[in-house]
Structure 1
């Protein structure tokens, strides 16, 4: 399989609807989250790492929350090696936390390149094989004749993607139009190739979306379509569904039109290429199209950016990371991604097209799917308000708007607490969902919103394409009833959360793997969660998350209060609190589960000054909802 491209969801609505990690919370409560896979009872199937303890073989589960001990009772019948990853079946025989399992199959070895995504695929039951009927249908796909389509083959549309991308699902072009802009967003016409009710359609629905792992992709559609016929390759005729917009100089959309077209991309550009060209460093590809293509696109983007600022859009500064591989497919490093203006350019143009699609469908009362992002939950807001207040930042009372959150983010931009404040505000946000009812997008400060721009990798967008084609009488597409649309929305909400969980698990495993052999080293970590179990921490450089259990937090007598962002001593002083920077020793690494365990060494000099207001727990008394912890003697 190909190397994975940067998932475009990360740049299309950045900072507006990121999904909080479900593994930790500020309060110690387990956060509510959509299911990561199929709802089911405790499974008899378990995946884990085979390890020999004396003469017995045990299975170390891949799930961090599973603290049971599993003995492989038939290990003698199967040649096992230390580090093998296997599938086993729980026999049901258990004594407390000790359970027996029987060998099922060997998945690979913990040192095998790519084993982490294989493990996530199996453990979360991600569909990974296409049926013969699906592949046969994909093989029959052909680029259509011009027919009734508009001929845009001479319009210099360009694609802008990551350097390792293969599925180019959008191309853009802008030119001056009076005092404003004419902007064309051309999207792969997947509905031409994937008919409703076909084998391809059924498989795309089951998958719901593509899944992007470091170095690997599980596509929603077979590669014959996703990387070839639907991909807007340069200098090659391709079918597209276009959104042509007229913008004023302030980036406001004055009018729009949807139509089918035949296009021919003038160039396949990368984000870095475009950014370099904007900064005055053109190359042999960008130099010839600088004045006619890249400069107008950048100027049009600046107008759209004005509109974004005027709306007061929420724009969280959340770091993204990329795993670097060698020629053999082995992970060698993890880098923080740099967010470029070229990323923002595509983001804003895709958002504009999504808005037009939502407004068009809503105006015509056409059955479709919308992307809905509700306002924050009042309970989460109050908790965030308390945390922000202790750090000296005041969130407005009542129902804050995105611009109110942005005011705090701008105030905190140069503070040590900035990463934490971004996380605090992120965790107040509702999860965006698909729904047949339009409800606007809180984070983007938009009254109408849907997903139109990525039908190669999202089933929701394919439904929206069909809805537009039907509503505009471009062609006849079979559309689901309102009741079936609701069922589709529920299903793809689940598959989206499952994909997010799978991607998170794999990234955590790579991060842990990169730290293997560094046990005993001291790292600067930031506390990003407090619970009765201890402090959750992050190494900012790689985004690696771990825990400092209560027993490794020093010798203080600590009190934890549910809902409070700190651990306090008996005198009421906050000893450990959210945002605090610590020096911590790495004492345990588990690449197979992605788990890291640290032990506090000493607090950094600036951490004692983080609490700006007195944090009292009521002295030595322990009230309801509190737990006390006495340090074990060493």
Structure 2
């Protein structure tokens, strides 16, 4: 039998190398950078052919069509999927524009339009801002790029905000931050961009040298300092405060339909009133009170607080919601308000205007004659404000001077309000919240945006009434959500730290006041201290020291109580137009009380904790911006009074010198320690004092002094003084006029960090918003 011989198949030919065009197409379509291994696998390249592929890739790279970076190859001139980028500005739609830190393509690096995070959970991340450096996930969008921030890495420290001063050989930048005063930046010709003399600009440092001025390049023109709102413009950009709504958000606000009576109780016939400052543009709370008809509550009252129902219009996950969270709160400057929500919402649909139907969420509280709350209920209503009154207008009516508006309301509405407040005040006095006496000042501007004068507004019972009603409504909101076992954001204020109490005890001992060492730490302990020094020369000093001993109030998802108000639970509910925390509480009440649509979606404590951190940071940002704007306005106001003398008080003590608060305007300025005299002054932190080693001459927090204005830097909001008063002697005598002191001629020195807060703008009511 013959053997059958089977022929072996011929070996398969290796696949041909891909062409240059095929390689470029593959790399271009890849979602991330690719390496030789991924390309070989895609085209079936094996064995020795990989050497040829490597040579092909090297040739394409050398001709510039491909670029190698961390993670592999990418098309030249194209951004990888994830880049490190600096957020520099906004586009005309209000979206952030980021630019890659590294760029090897031709021309300028491309802009990446940052999209807001999708979904309420992602929105809880800390919001990026101009000047931030971030990891960005990038997608191609036509000829450009869009992106989403993965993580904020930190500030681009090379970016500086300043005023451009044009010159014959280029220009210079005068930084607006106090710590950068005296450190101008040279802008070479051609690097000024679109900046003109006097413009506020953003600058990146290009090079620093050991000798001469550092060099920079103008990145963006932010606005003209010749405008009437120039001073607040500095603060907005310096603190990265969003102030331009995106077109998508504005369109969403414009498309909102007014709420109807459906699903609401009809309260339009109830005598609810708004009581606000005379210049208030939005009215987010209304109040009323009446005698309780229940015979079981003799002398008691039914107190109602109705709050604009923002949750009816701003839904979770919407553009309105995302921008509100990014802003965190409205910011109030003397020359403008930067609202948390567009005016269509804040000043129109959610403003409780006189005589117009408005949706509200109301808390109805039953109060006993001694001010103790017996119960409360939450309602979703349609209301109609009976009248819009100012604080002084309502107070004048109660004091026997009614006008045409308040006369008809005196007996049916105003007197019941004051009677109910008297009962609540009795309970408040028993509760004993912290009672600091540190009056706030208000800056009044001229029509062209200049300082007219600074006043201390009179504190009226009308202010205290509204404040106490709001506090009680906030407590009721927190109690309702706790009873329903629903998550919420609390307004918490922790008790003072032990170290701060130790320092306070040392300060009190220096003025002959003892700090009790036994018993629970309660606000009344501090109130007893304040009463002990009331009317003495130490009163202001001790009020300041007690304030500095307190913790800072913040927003949190876990309840720590509110030490300053002496309350076990407290949440912000009464200002959802201008505080995002209040909007969260509104939504939670809608869900917990089954009041209809617009409630809080399923949210974890962890997610609320992130939101709390975000809006607490936004609040601190707003406070700093408001304070610095006041400083700049006052510095400009005093710039033409160089050499004038002023009465003041030592408002801060550091090793670098003394901060002085002027009695006339409340402005803060600095006296360098080098100007205090020939002695060597030692900073005694526990005593809040500078003490001369040889003479014992002492300058202490709270001491009254006389100073001469030596220098004013309006752009930075900085003032430098010469001290005309002597310090305390070893025996503790009060300072007097120091004979023979002459103005110092040294250049301006930047204020040291840790400056105490200056005067705050009280032009728009805060109603305990920062308690």
TM class, shorter-chain normalised? 0.7 to 0.9
User: CA distance change for structure 1 residues 522 and 436 in 2, over 3 Å: closer, same or farther?
Assistant: same
Q: Moved runs in structure 1, 4+ residues, more than 6 A? A: 34-39, 52-56, 79-82
- In the TM superposition, what are the counterparts of 1:16-415 in structure 2 within 5 Å? 40-51=154-165, 57-67=171-181, 69-75=183-189, 83-95=198-210, 98-110=213-225, 112-177=227-292, 178-397=298-517, 400-415=521-536
Q: TM-score, normalised by structure 2?
A: 0.72
Q: TM-score, normalised by structure 1?
A: 0.87
Q: Residue deviations 1:548-589, cap 9 Å, x none?
A: 101211233322334342222234624212221111111011
Give 2:573's aligned residue: 452
Give 1:418's aligned residue: 539
Give 1:18's aligned residue: none
User: CA distance change for structure 1 residues 35 and 596 in 2, over 3 Å: closer, same or farther?
Assistant: farther
Secondary structure of the 1:141 match is coil
Q: Quick check: 1:511–1:544 contact (8 Å CA) kept in 2? A: yes
User: CA distance change for structure 1 residues 56 and 602 in 2, over 3 Å: closer, same or farther?
Assistant: farther
Q: Residue deviations 1:368-423, cap 9 Å, x none?
A: 11111100011111112211221222222255310111112222221232222211
Q: Quick check: 1:526–1:579 contact (8 Å CA) kept in 2? A: yes
Distance 1:355 1:610 in 2: 49
Distance 1:516 1:580 in 2: 25
Q: Quick check: 1:313–1:445 contact (8 Å CA) kept in 2? A: yes
Which region of structure 1 is more displaced relative to structure 2, 340-349 or 402-411? 402-411
Give 1:512's aligned residue: 635
Distance 1:179 1:300 in 2: 10
Secondary structure of the 1:602 match is coil
Q: Quick check: 2:191–2:217 contact (8 Å CA) kept in 1? A: no
Q: Quick check: 1:36–1:495 contact (8 Å CA) kept in 2? A: no
Which region of structure 1 is more displaced relative to structure 2, 109-118 or 284-293? 109-118
Which region of structure 1 is more displaced relative to structure 2, 452-461 or 77-86? 77-86
Q: Runs of 5+ in structure 1 lacking a partner?
A: 1-33, 614-630
Q: Quick check: 1:566–1:574 contact (8 Å CA) kept in 2? A: no
Q: CA deviation at 1:496?
A: 1.0
Q: CA deviation at 1:522?
A: 0.9
Which region of structure 1 is more displaced relative to structure 2, 90-99 or 164-173? 90-99
Higher Cα Rg, which structure: 2
Give 1:500's aligned residue: 623
Counterpart of 1:598 (choices 721, 726, 734) is: 721
Q: CA deviation at 1:362?
A: 1.2
User: CA distance change for structure 1 residues 117 and 72 in 2, over 3 Å: closer, same or farther?
Assistant: same
Q: Quick check: 2:646–2:664 contact (8 Å CA) kept in 1? A: no
Q: Quick check: 1:256–1:356 contact (8 Å CA) kept in 2? A: yes
Q: Quick check: 1:70–1:101 contact (8 Å CA) kept in 2? A: no
Q: Residue deviations 1:197-247, cap 9 Å, x none?
A: 111111111111111111211111110010000000000000000000000
Secondary structure of the 2:640 match is coil
Secondary structure of the 1:516 match is helix
Q: Residue deviations 1:127-177, cap 9 Å, x none?
A: 111122211221232332222311110101000111111110000000111
Q: Quick check: 2:195–2:201 contact (8 Å CA) kept in 1? A: no
Count of equivalent residues: 581
Which region of structure 1 is more displaced relative to structure 2, 438-447 or 55-64? 55-64
The question of 1:443 aligning with 2:569 is answered no
The question of 1:534 aligning with 2:657 is answered yes
Distance 1:586 1:350 in 2: 42
Secondary structure of the 2:376 match is strand
User: CA distance change for structure 1 residues 54 and 130 in 2, over 3 Å: closer, same or farther?
Assistant: closer
Q: Quick check: 1:565–1:577 contact (8 Å CA) kept in 2? A: yes
User: CA distance change for structure 1 residues 424 and 337 in 2, over 3 Å: closer, same or farther?
Assistant: same
Distance 1:496 1:80 in 2: 32
Q: Quick check: 2:675–2:723 contact (8 Å CA) kept in 1? A: yes
